[in-house]
Amino acid sequence: MLGWITMEYTQLGRTGLKVSRLVLGTMNFGPFTEEPDAHAIMDAALDAGINFFDTANAYGWGANKGRTEEIIGTWFARGGGRREKTVLATKVYADMAAPDAPWPNRGGLSALHIRQAAEASLRRLGTDHIDLYQFHHIDRSAPWEEIWQAIDVLVQQGKVLYAGSSNFPGWGIAQANEAAARRGSLGLVSEQCLYNLVERRAEMEVVPAARAYGLGVIPWSPLHGGVLGGVLRKERDGEGPGPGRGAPPRC
């Protein structure tokens, strides 16, 4: 197919990394999209020239957290250059302990959890590195010196290439990158935030902060659960609150 000829690419923030302007989100892989269908979607995306795939260690949700990364891992294992052609983004923060067996340090952004979560994601994804490792939420209990020390180790080991944020306030982006600058680290290169024609609060502080610090902006829920997001089917089937019926999904 010739999708790569018409697909638009851009550099991710201030990096030299080229990514497609369309990003394939995988949040529903596992809970709502079975593995064969998920594999077919990823194949179609790659054929169309989409080289940027986004996931998170928490996707799969509940007792199945991690399932989405596993599905992507089995897709990579099919070969054909799939991993080499994909810019892979995943996230860290969620408490990954079993719901019925809570345990300390299984969530957040402590150096311990970052290390453990990265290793677990690499195993599930069946890869030796994560291209973009994103902090899924801000952790006010973890100092940035600790967070960047953990990320710098992963970068030195070749297990992570870039770091990004998700659901951060503008001041959080500034605080993170000022701390990284003091260490001589690259810092955040992207912010993934809720942003669409209906929900535009990101324009107040997040987008200006991203522009000031050279971050790429990756919108989540860009359709706000509109027609293409299945809102008519949800209305017809009487499904509960969700995209188009109050609040977008928590990414």
User: Of these residues, 9, 59, 93, 195, which one is catalytic?
Assistant: 59
Q: What residues contact residue 131 under an 8 Å CB cut-off, 6+ apart?
A: 17, 86, 87, 88, 89, 161, 162
- At residue 217, the 3 state secondary structure works out as strand
Q: How far apart are CA 18 and CA 16, in angstroms?
A: 6
CA 82 to chain centroid, in Å, comes to 18
Q: Is the CB of residue 83 less than 8 Å from the CB of residue 46?
A: no
93 is catalytic: no
For 129-160, b/e burial (b = at least 16 CB within 10 A) is bbbbbbbbbbbeebebebbbebbbebbeeebb
Q: Is the dihedral of CA 48, 51, 56, 57 positive or negative?
A: positive
The catalytic residue positions are 59
